[in-house]
Structures are given as C-alpha cells and as structure tokens.
Chain A
C-alpha cells in the first residue's frame, strides 16, 4: 500500500464547476500537507500548504485536512480551462523533511 493514495482520474468537468480532489494517507506521523499543480512536462507548482488539521483558503482554492480520517481535499471553485493539469497531494514532517506524494489526479476542465 502506498503511503499517499490518489485516484488517477481523469476527472472531466465543465468550465465553472466546483472541483473536488481527494487523497488518503496512511502515515499518522505526517504533520503537514501540500497540494501541487503540474502541467505536462513541467515541474510541480505549489498551490496550498496546510499544517495539521483544518481548512485553508486562497482565492478559488480551499484545502482541507482531516487527520482523524487521514483524508485530504482540495476544492477549486469556478474552474477554468487553465486549471487543466495533474494535481499532486503530498504529506510530510514525520521524522524527515522529505515529501511523500500521491500519484496525481488528472483534471480536465472543458470550455
């Protein structure tokens, strides 16, 4: 079992829809969680950082962490075609500074 699991998708939604992306993780020691966006053949771009449980909002993006159920979510409001990319979740902060990534969810926002 991978430490961080994501549905690979693809997830296809119409422009303007609310998108929900999810991850589960197994490492109880994770302290912080991140969402990255990765366009094809590019490096990951940091979207959201969350420490411990709770919600964090930044513009159209909201990240939620529920440590009791080991569940991480990213919501994208008013989705745009430019949001079409692979979204990677990651956990970290156990005994190391390395990040453990999920395999990513491909999102396609149709105009």
Chain B
C-alpha cells in the first residue's frame, strides 16, 4: 500500500498525559500536513511541512502541540498535557507540488480520546 499511513489508529489516554502520533506520507511527496477533525466538522488545518521545514502553523496549535519532520520523510505530532478538548481525529495528508495542482491525499487518521 503506497498511501499515507498513520499510527496508531486509535489512542485512549488520561487527561494530563502526553501522546505522540506518527505519519508516513506517500514516498515522493515533500509536503506534509496535519489537520484535526471533530465530530460533525470538516478537517481544520494545524500545520504543514515542506521537506523538513515547518512553514506554517495554525493558531489552533497551542504551545502544548509540537510537530516535527526531522528528515523530511515521516512526521510526528506530539500533544503534551492532554485535555478533554483534544479528543478528535488527527489527520495527516501529503502532496507533491506541481503547477496548478495541489492535491492533498489523506491518511486514515488517528482517533484520540482523552478521558
């Protein structure tokens, strides 16, 4: 399977714990995006990388959130001191830039439940 993969697929944690999610993009894609989706809403942008550089962060990304893409391949999203409001589906997407074509392909998501 050459699509975007995410691990774990599900995570249950207690409030105050730290969690880390991993995203492996499609191999030749140099842009990688993180989105968050809550029930009944569309995905909301969190941050994106071009290669290893983090080029944009949403105001939604509080100080408790950090994302990395150290070698320009896979990426991790860490949430420190989780809160119940962090419960959501965390989606990763990747794209390969070309003129007039910026199609983002999504992974299956990591569903986080904070108790």
Contacts and interface: CB of A to CB of B under 8 A. Distances in A.
Q: Interface size bucket, A side?
A: 20 to 34
Contact of A97 (B6, B102, B105, B109): B102
Contacts of A42: 108-109
B59 to A, nearest CB: 12
A46 B48 contact: no
Nearest to A90: B42
A98 B109 contact: no
B106 A36 contact: yes
Given A44-B91, A96-B56, A98-B56, A103 B102 contact: no
B111 interface: yes
B111 A98 contact: no
Contacts of A99: 33, 35, 43, 45, 104
A43 B102 contact: no
Contact of B43 (A6, A44, A93, A96): A44
B107 interface: yes
7 contacts: A43-B107, A44-B91, A97-B56, A99-B45, A99-B104, A102-B42, A104-B42
Interface of A: 4, 6, 8, 32, 34, 36, 41-46, 49, 51, 88, 90, 92-93, 96-104
